[in-house]
Amino acid sequence: MLFTLRISLPDRPGTLGSIATAFGRGGANILTLDVVDNEAGTAVDDLLIEASEGMQEALRLAGEMVPGLVVEDLRPLEAFQDHLSPLELATALSEIGNEEPVLGILVERLPEAMRSDWCVVVSAREDRVEVLASSIGAPSMAEARSSWLPLEGSTRLPPAGWMPSSWTKGPAARDGQGKFELAAAPVFDALTAALIGRRNGPQYRNSELVEFGLLARIASSCRSASQIRSAS
């Protein structure tokens, strides 16, 4: 099976070698390593690892044997599943022609590009939000308030009173579906935003917020280009 891991670790010589050794002893093979962020001497990396089925907890324990390493997230991945990069999504957005496909492509493919579980695009309507598009698996936005809009740029959204009560109460909250790490970025205008979420983390890093903001700006420019073509 394939597993994706997000780890944070001290940025010092020899640490990556220790990681490879720790996973190798457990029969796991590191296929890829992507550097996500580096802040204050701490590196954040995403790893794709090949290991036997049922090795999820063993991988976590193997990683935590490396001094200073924290396993922030560990998930199984379908074999042979291609990972969509932010650059590939930017290319896909640039190849479409009007507003509706822009939103459809954005909510369908942004979760994969940003290693997220879901995406919705919403617009402020007085004190509530209107859902313009949503991905499969996105939670209900019924009763969600618009107090976090307008937005000037991409940002993390901490849990607050704007969240629907279904996210924090009832069955969804009890089974963990209401525990999200959230980020948002303006699309088209400051009162319209793409909202992405990860169930149970990990937190969106600053470098990811930059990528997210750029993708939202590309989506906005694609819509503007379409309007210019339609007017001509």
Q: Report the helix count and the strand count for the chain, using DSSP H and E.
A: 7, 9
Distance of CA 7 to the CA centre of its chain: 15
My answer on whether 52 and 114 are in the same domain is: no
Asked whether the beta carbons of 140 and 164 are under 8 A apart, the reply is: yes
My answer on whether 90 and 73 are in the same domain is: no
Rounded CA gap, 43 and 178, in Å? 29
Predicted pLDDT of residue 45 = 92
**Number of domains composing the chain:** 2
The 10s digit of each residue's pLDDT in 187-214 is 999 999 999 999 888 999 999 999 999 9
My answer on whether 212 and 164 are in the same domain is: yes
Residue where a domain terminates, one of 59, 77, 95: 77
The 10s digit of each residue's pLDDT in 82-120 is 566 788 888 888 777 555 578 888 999 999 889 899 999
My answer on whether 71 and 90 are in the same domain is: no
My answer on whether 160 and 69 are in the same domain is: no
Distance of CA 50 to the CA centre of its chain: 22
Asked whether the beta carbons of 119 and 196 are under 8 A apart, the reply is: yes
Query: Domain with 14 in it: what CATH number?
Result: 3.30.70.260
**Domain span including residue 67:** 2-77
Of the listed ranges 24-28, 63-67, 79-83, 159-163, the least confidently predicted one is: 79-83
My answer on whether 103 and 215 are in the same domain is: yes
Predicted pLDDT of residue 175 = 46
Q: Any idea what DSSP says for residue 63?
A: H
Predicted pLDDT of residue 223 = 66
Task: Output the six-digit token pair for 211.
Answer: 């990528």
The 10s digit of each residue's pLDDT in 33-79 is 888 998 888 999 999 899 888 788 888 888 888 889 999 998 887 65
My answer on whether 28 and 102 are in the same domain is: no
Predicted pLDDT of residue 156 = 96
pTM for the whole structure = 0.81
Query: Domain with 135 in it: what CATH number?
Result: 3.30.450.40
Residue where the block lists tokens 């640039």? 94
User: For 159-170, what is the mean pLDDT?
Assistant: 80
Give me the amino acid identity at 20. Answer: A
Rounded CA gap, 36 and 48, in Å? 13
pLDDT above 70: percentage of residues in the chain: 87
Residue where a domain terminates, one of 77, 111, 126: 77
Q: Any idea what DSSP says for residue 68?
A: T
Strand order from edge to edge, sheet including 128-134: 128-134, 118-125, 189-199, 180-187, 155-157
Task: Output the six-digit token pair for 217.
Answer: 């700006």
Predicted pLDDT of residue 81 = 52
My answer on whether 227 and 126 are in the same domain is: yes
